Amino acid sequence: MKRCDNKLFFSKGYLDRKAYAELVKNHSGRIFAICFSMLSNREDAEDVTQQAFLKGFSDIRQLRDISKFGAWITQIAKHMCLDLLRRKKLNKTALKQIADDEVKDEPANDDNKYSRLQSALMQLKDEYRLPLMLYYFDGKSTKKIAETLEITVDLAHTHLSRARKKLRQILSTEGGAQ
C-alpha cells in the first residue's frame, strides 16, 4: 500500500485533488500495463488508463475503504478494456465476414499466422490471456505478473500453464502451427 492511500480524501465535503493526483501517479504504471496487456495497443491502453482514472475521480465517493483503491481502479480499467475489446470485436467480426465473402480459398501465408495467433489470443479468457501477454510480450517474471494482477505466484504460474495449453488447442483446431 502506498503512503498516499491512507490519506483522508474528503475534507469539508470536497475531494482532495492533490491526494488523488498522487494516487494516479502511484498506480498509473500498473494500470497502463494491465490495459496494454489486454488491448495490445499503446494508444488504446493510454486512452483507457486515462479514462479509468477520470471515472475513478468522479466515482471516488463510492469507494468505502481508500486502502482498496488499487484493486478498485484495476477493476474499473479492466471493465473499460473489455468494453473496448467488445466494440472492436464487433467491428472485426463485420470486417471478417466481408473478407470471408470476398476472398475464398486463399492459401495461408506468414501474415496470416500472426493474424491467427492474435485471434487465438483474443479467444482466451482474461485470466489466462493477461498473464500470457505479460510474460511473453512484456517479459515479466511470474512473480511480477502476480504482483501486477494482484494474485499469488502459484496462481500466476497455473494461469500461464493453462493459457499455453488452451492456446495450443485453439491453434491446432484452426488447422495449424503452434
3-state secondary structure of 7: coil
How far are the Cα atoms of 16, 70, 170 from residue 174, in angstroms, in the given order? 53, 39, 6
* CB neighbours of residue 170 within 10 Å: 19
Within the chain, which residues score under 70 in pLDDT?
Answer: 1-15, 89-114, 137-138, 174-178
Domains and their CATH numbers in the chain: 1-88 (1.10.1740.10), 107-178 (1.10.10.10)
How far apart, in whole angstroms, are the C-alpha atoms of residue 117 and residue 83?
Answer: 21
Q: What is the pTM of this model?
A: 0.52
pLDDT digits (tens, 9 = 90+) for 38-72: 888 899 999 999 999 999 998 888 888 888 899 99
Backbone angles phi, psi at 40, to 5 degrees: 55, 30
Instruction: For 96-133, give the DSSP string.
Output: HHHHHHH--SPPP-HHHHHHHHHHHHHHS-HHHHHHHH
